Amino acid sequence: MVNPIAISVKKLDLYYGEKQALKNIDMNIEERTVTALIGPSGCGKSTFLRTINRMNDLIPNVRIEGEILINETDIYSDDVDVEMLRKRVGMVFQSPNPFPKSIYDNVAYGPRIHGLSNKKKLDEIVERSLRGAALWDEVKDRLKDRATGLSGGQQQRLCIARALAVEPDILLMDEPTSALDPISTLKIEELVQELKKNYTIVIVTHNMQQAARISDKTAFFLNGDLIEYNDTDKLFSNPDHQQTEDYITGRFG
């Protein structure tokens, strides 16, 4: 069964000044799947991830051509509300970055920014989001404690809860386990599998085994080109391109 398309990328080019970082990217990302982006450092995968919620807008001299459609709307058209886009397309970064506030206030931050002040509703959102990030049972008795006192793995799950609190449709993850120990990494991977029941997830990873374990589809980037995009099982067992095989077997990268 083919899921509906959540993100449609058409002829996407991205330039940092004169340097072209993404070249003519075409791909459709399905709803409620995990799509892994792999490739060596500097190949364009994190740059591509950041195009999906316009994080690259914050970088000087970036120029983008082509289209990214979400719900059939080109997110780079002039009338798109970027704040609302980022509400619908959440982001989790490589290193956990909790705010220097309480656990509760970290999760409630987004809903408050969007105008919610009702304590009962905030309480419900905080609990639902922490449960969604598989963290509630560990922190429910210390919601007023500072978030920076949590372990690294807990902080990353808190950042996931913070992203979930504004009820996104899409969750972008930029190497979310690279700073974590193996046990915390496993918890995040299990969480990703649970979250895809309700969210479309796009994840950048340098870990081939992780991509093979948790993703439904994998995209291999090299020097700004999308070399291959296929079902994960197919891409890892029988890739269509020699460059893909060379990368996943460790011949370069």
| 5-16: strand order across its sheet | 19-30, 5-16, 62-70, 73-74
Is 80 exceeded by the pLDDT of residue 1? no
Q: What is the mean pLDDT of residues 119-128?
A: 97
Q: What is the mean pLDDT of residues 146-157?
A: 96
Q: What is the mean pLDDT of residues 37-44?
A: 95
Q: What is the mean pLDDT of residues 161-182?
A: 96
pLDDT band at 195 (very low <50, low <70, confident <90, very high): very high
Separation CA 94–CA 179 (nearest Å): 7
Q: What is the pLDDT of residue 120?
A: 97
160 token code pair = 């996931």
pLDDT digits (tens, 9 = 90+) for 209-230: 999 999 999 999 999 999 999 9
Q: What is the mean pLDDT of residues 40-50?
A: 95
Query: Which residues 6+ apart lie within 8 Å of 59 measured at CB?
Result: 16
pLDDT band at 253 (very low <50, low <70, confident <90, very high): low
pLDDT band at 144 (very low <50, low <70, confident <90, very high): very high
Query: Which residues 6+ apart lie within 8 Å of 86 measured at CB?
Result: 53, 54
Q: Where do the domains of the chain lie?
A: 5-248
Q: What is the pLDDT of residue 3?
A: 83
Q: Which residue has the tokens 């991830």?
A: 49
pLDDT digits (tens, 9 = 90+) for 68-86: 999 889 999 999 999 999 9
CATH architecture under which domain 5-248 falls:
3-Layer(aba) Sandwich (3.40)
pLDDT band at 136 (very low <50, low <70, confident <90, very high): very high
Q: Which residue has the tokens 């995009």?
A: 229
pTM of the predicted model as reported, rounded to 2 decimal places: 0.95
Cβ 193 vs Cβ 203: under 8 Å: no
Q: What is the pLDDT of residue 14?
A: 98
Cβ 62 vs Cβ 48: under 8 Å: no
Separation CA 33–CA 233 (nearest Å): 14
Separation CA 17–CA 63 (nearest Å): 7
Mean pLDDT, the chain, rounded, equals: 95
List, in sequence order, every beta strand (DSSP E) within the chain: 5-16, 19-30, 34-38, 62-70, 73-74, 89-92, 170-174, 200-204, 217-222, 225-231
Q: What is the mean pLDDT of residues 33-44?
A: 96
